[in-house]
Amino acid sequence: MSSNIGPEAEAAYQRYLDANSLDEKIKRLEEFLSLVPKHKATEKIVALNRSRLSKLKRQQEAHKQRLKSIGKKSPFSIKKEGIQIILVSDYHTPGVGKTTLLNYLTGAAKDKIGKFTPIPEIGVYEHIKIRFQIVDMPSLMEGASKGVGNGKEILSQLRSSDLLCWCIDLSRDVDTQMNLLLTELSNADIKINVLPPPINIEKTGSNKIQIFYLTNEAHNNENIEDLNDKIKEVVQEAGIRNAIVKIYGKIGLSQVVDALTPSVVYKNAIVIGTKGDLPHTEATFKDLKMKYLDKFPLIIGTSVHKRNFPENFGEIILKFLRKIKIYTMNVSGRLAEKPLIIDEGATVKDIALKIHRSFFELFDYAVVIRESARQKRKKVGLDYILEDNDIIEIHTI
């Protein structure tokens, strides 16, 4: 172990080596990593031990899943319907107004307003026949990522959502609320409003660890030979002996560890400032935007009491998630009642597969109707890129 880490970290590492149980090893290794000073000289040590930690956490999660499979279903496990938006906040009395917001959007929680929410409350908000499942999740307490206040179960559900909606009480100190949420989600390996690292690691049966730089940006990584050696060490520390590592852009060792950690997820999140009708909240909202707009591109100030809330909330969410609406039409000219929701940049092929694989396998051609185009009705193939509100008619052989 390097002498650069200091005596406290050295002692913590020894406690990790002496630990017997899996839970204790994870706890001690997390303690060690928190004590290691973060600079260039310790980058490799941190990466290697984060890789060890991710391996231990995978073992811990596998054990929990085995226990869960023979137990009762958790009330925090919610089947997703439509686009799932989860309202999250820190724990405080009185609350931040999540339940009031849920009721305003869905009418589903009138009797729950002002009461502590120990389990999730669910409602459905509809916008142009698109269903948004709104979930009022119990508030996160300090230490939630370690299990405090059912934190692990709550955080587990956040991982499968389409969008996290951070509800921040504008009548309180916003930094305290934001820091708690940022800390607990980070500790739970939930990364907010960032793209996954430009790296893919595929296990193989032989040929040891091979590394390929597949784009011009990837070739611009500094000291590639040294980086190769460090990547191999980190991958091997995760228990992988044979793999193909494909790199598509600029990366660091921390991103390699993230790619090796199945528990790491990347979530879209927005911030809604609540209680905007109370005194001095206008200045607080400006401060919130100034400090956090770089990490949260969408911050909305609201007051349910004054009915100050975006009427086009559904459109705002679709745009933020980069989703578009596509309407299907059968060969007899009947338009589907509800649109399909797909990612921006999707093609006719994506729609064919979404409807049924047979539409792709037996595809002949499609007709796309686009009201804003000069040629409103156009015959196209599978690679044609669709736009919002397009109408598509698929013809098969």
Q: For residue 11, report the phi and psi dihedrals to the nearest 5 degrees.
A: -65, -40
Mean pLDDT of the chain: 91
Higher-pLDDT residue of 296 and 63 is: 296
pLDDT of residue 81: 87
pLDDT band at 233 (very low <50, low <70, confident <90, very high): very high
Number of separate helices (H) and strands (E) present in the chain: 13, 16
323-396, CATH topology level: Ubiquitin-like (UB roll) (3.10.20)
Q: Is the pLDDT of residue 2 over 60?
A: no
CA distances from 33 to 13, 29, 42, 52 (A): 9, 6, 10, 11
Domain spans in the chain, listed from the N-terminal domain onward: 3-69, 83-194+266-320, 199-250, 323-396
Laid out side by side, the sheet with 209-213 consists of: 199-203, 243-247, 209-213
pLDDT in tens, 165-222: 999 999 999 999 999 999 999 999 999 999 999 999 999 988 899 999 999 999 999 9
pTM recorded for the entire structure: 0.80
Domain 83-194+266-320 part of CATH 3.40.50.300: yes
Q: How far apart are CA 163 and CA 313, in angstroms?
A: 13
Instruction: Please name the residue ranges forming H helices in 188-294.
Output: 216-219, 224-237, 253-260, 281-292
Packing angle of the helix pair 174-187, 151-158 (nearest 10 deg): 80
Domain 3-69, architecture per CATH: Up-down Bundle (1.20)
